[in-house]
Amino acid sequence: MSMSTNQKKFLQKERRNKIFVILMQILIVVIFLISWEVLANKKILNPFIFSSPSRIILTIKNLFLEGSLITHILTTLYEIVLAFFIGIASGFLIAILLYEVKTLAKILDPFLTMLNSLPKVALGPIIIIWAGANTKAIIVMALLINLIVSIVNIYNGFLGTDEIKIKLLQSFGATKGQILRYLVIPGSKRTIISSLKLNISMTLIGVIMGEFLVSKKGIGYLIIYGTQVFNLNVVMAGIVILIILSFIIYEGVSLLEKKLLQEKN
């Protein structure tokens, strides 16, 4: 079916608006970087404290030539991927358990709320004692941050299932398992998929916090190391790498979300 003239105009307008937004975002970043570089060169901003884009690029280049940059990035990526999949899988299964056993959900509700509001970094020393000063401690720290969020988000999605549809299936003799499999989970697909973006953000925070505490490799370690030796160029380079990595991961999850939602439709 061919599009009408109004539809074509609407799509062209949306495309132009999208291009304009992207160009403005790029312009803002360029202006920020140029202003930062000029102010640092003019000593208006202290380059020792604030560094500068050129110094950060040079630092990243040196880290790459030394061979340590790829190691730090791959270490952090490995920890993020591992904690992410463990968190989302565990959160999904626990949310199903809470949905099926309403009494258990009522019992655990205040404890989940308390754990969610607890500053996880306060548990750092205990985690190190329990898990050791290694990758396991970093994964545990990430799970403490992403797991509760995943459980609550997915569970609330299950609770949002249309009660009329549930009663309709019950009237046809459907079991709890069948209702869960054919109605509740498919009906909450959008919530489950959307929780991936929230989970990856929380996982990234947890991994970096864990690396601050115990890691000898990774982007978090790179930032802490730069702080310890008063090399702010390394600190800022680590932050920039982390921002770029966060953006790439988030966009990857967003593309996955769009693909899965399109498949649903």
pLDDT tens for the chain, 265 residues long, are 455 677 777 778 888 888 999 999 999 999 999 999 999 998 888 888 888 999 999 999 999 999 889 999 999 999 999 999 999 999 999 999 999 998 999 999 888 888 888 887 788 888 888 888 888 999 999 998 899 889 999 999 999 888 888 888 888 888 888 888 889 988 888 888 888 888 888 899 999 999 988 888 899 999 999 998 888 999 999 999 999 998 898 888 888 878 877 765 5
Query: φ, ψ for residue 161 (rounded to 5)?
Result: -65, 140
CA 210 to chain centre: 15
CA 186 to chain centre: 23
E-strand stretches of the chain = none
Instruction: Output the CA–CA distances (angstroms, integers) from residue 148 to 74, 102, 151, 238, in the order listed.
Output: 26, 17, 5, 28
pLDDT of res. 162: 86
pLDDT of res. 18: 87
Residues in Cβ contact with 196 at an 8 Å cutoff, skipping those fewer than 6 apart: 88, 253, 256, 257
Residues in Cβ contact with 100 at an 8 Å cutoff, skipping those fewer than 6 apart: 176, 180
Residues in Cβ contact with 239 at an 8 Å cutoff, skipping those fewer than 6 apart: 223
Domain boundaries, the chain: 65-264
pLDDT of res. 1: 47
Residues in Cβ contact with 246 at an 8 Å cutoff, skipping those fewer than 6 apart: 204
Cβ–Cβ under 8 Å, residues 150 and 84: no
pLDDT of res. 262: 72
User: What pTM was computed for the model?
Assistant: 0.85
CA atoms within 13 A on the CB side of 63: 25
Topology of the domain covering 65-264? MetI-like fold (1.10.3720)
